[in-house]
Amino acid sequence: MCQVNGWSVAVPTGKRGAGLGNEILAWAKAWIAADLLDQRLVEQPWDCNRRLYGFRLGHNVDDLARQLMALYGSHTNITWDMIRGTGQWDYREGLIALRDQGQLGSVNRHVSRMQGGFFSVYSAREATRVRLIANQRVELAQADLRIGVHVRLGDFSSPQEAAPGLWNTRQPLNWYQSCIETLIKDASGQITFCLVSDDQSSPEFEEMVTHLSQLGTVEVGTTNFLYDLALLASCDVLVPSVSWFSMLALFVSEAAFVWPRSGLNEHHGLLSIWGHEVDQVPGPTADAIAWAQSHEISPITRGIPFPSDEGRIREWLQAVQSKQLPTQIQSDLLYYGVTPQ
């Protein structure tokens, strides 16, 4: 049952797990260790997740047994403090340092959950894409611009304006509508909207469908969260919710995106999603700020704030459609980067 080099165990969040955008970070960390150390990857027991992910990700009963054996047997818990103790934010680089120091075991449980964000697991990006969406067939009509819209409704509270550090909130529909109307104002050609939501029976969802139908072709998501993820990932631009599922769609895609201006931190003319937490003060956001201050950073970055100046949005959209967006990780909001105000 156990391979020669042991197990790399993705520890779920709590007894019943969390949403996919949260759980995939633990999975990615365990995958990185399995790949680095030639260990067996032990995934979260998907059937135990309250969202019953096993129906899409697999009924991995054997991994449930391995999870219990790892928990109650001899194991090493890999914490975020251990990774940071090596001076690294990159999970792979941190593991390499721990391996060289002899701190890893034959059964390694990755318990840092979401700490380090998608920046820390960038090396698992392609593996994550393959695990989640490689087998999802998204067949859409040709479009000159495809805009993904992710609206969280059912499991979030009433609409609330975004704020730095405030997650899992429902954006007001008028923010989506204003953003989309501004985005397409100068767009030409056929526009397709890919609308994904956790509650397609709500009046708010119907309102969004009606609104988007007046602006272009609308493709609606399904009850299959993996297909919905692939649908969003197929888009040129994402208008996301303030959620980790939207962040996951950005992680497994090349899509450009907007982010609520009120949900961004300010740093002397620069904006970031993160950077307000204590452990971010010396972290990659600080590195991105230093990089931006020593370079002539363009306002045309992968992610930009909305509202923004219409001229900036027009130039940004042109860069998106011509596939000329900059690729520096320091200017990518998803990876602790910054963009000009």
Apex 200 CA angle, 197 and 205, nearest 5: 80
**Tokens, residue 6:** 């042991």
What distance in Å separates the CA atoms of residue 263 and residue 160, rounded to the nearest whole number? 11
pLDDT of residue 155: 67
Describe the strand order of the beta sheet including 107-110 as a list of residue ranges.
40-42, 7-10, 107-110, 76-78
The confidence band for 1, taking pLDDT boundaries of 50, 70 and 90, is: very low
Tell me the CA distances in angstroms from 95 to 112, 170, 308, one per residue in order: 13, 37, 40
The confidence band for 246, taking pLDDT boundaries of 50, 70 and 90, is: very high
What is the rounded average pLDDT for all residues in the chain? 94
What distance in Å separates the CA atoms of residue 168 and residue 274, rounded to the nearest whole number? 15
Place of tokens 């495809």: 146
What distance in Å separates the CA atoms of residue 84 and residue 89, rounded to the nearest whole number? 6
- What digits encode the pLDDT tens for the residues 105-141? 999 999 999 999 999 999 999 999 999 999 999 999 8
The confidence band for 187, taking pLDDT boundaries of 50, 70 and 90, is: confident
pLDDT of residue 259: 97
Question: What phi and psi values does residue 78 have, to the nearest 5 degrees?
Answer: -95, 110
The confidence band for 281, taking pLDDT boundaries of 50, 70 and 90, is: low
pLDDT of residue 123: 98
- H helix intervals, the chain: 20-37, 54-57, 61-72, 80-85, 91-100, 117-120, 125-133, 173-183, 203-213, 225-233, 244-251, 284-294, 310-321
Question: What phi and psi values does residue 149 have, to the nearest 5 degrees?
Answer: -125, 120
Apex 183 CA angle, 181 and 189, nearest 5: 95
What distance in Å separates the CA atoms of residue 149 and residue 239, rounded to the nearest whole number? 5
Tell me the CA distances in angstroms from 267 to 63, 79, 276, one per residue in order: 44, 30, 10
What distance in Å separates the CA atoms of residue 128 and residue 27, rounded to the nearest whole number? 9
What distance in Å separates the CA atoms of residue 83 and residue 141, rounded to the nearest whole number? 45
Residue 68 burial (CB count, 10 A): 11
Q: Contact, 165 vs 276, CB < 8 A? A: yes
Sign of CA dihedral 182, 185, 186, 192: positive
pLDDT of residue 136: 97
Q: ω before 299 within 30° of 0 (cis)?
A: no
Question: What phi and psi values does residue 258 have, to the nearest 5 degrees?
Answer: -110, 160
CB-based contacts of 179, cutoff 8 Å, min separation 6? 239, 258, 306
pLDDT of residue 2: 40
pLDDT of residue 234: 97
pLDDT above 70 coverage of the chain, percent: 97
Tell me the CA distances in angstroms from 270 to 266, 284, 299, 331, one per residue in order: 6, 14, 10, 10
Residues of the chain by 3-state class (helix, strand, coil), percent to 5: 40, 15, 40
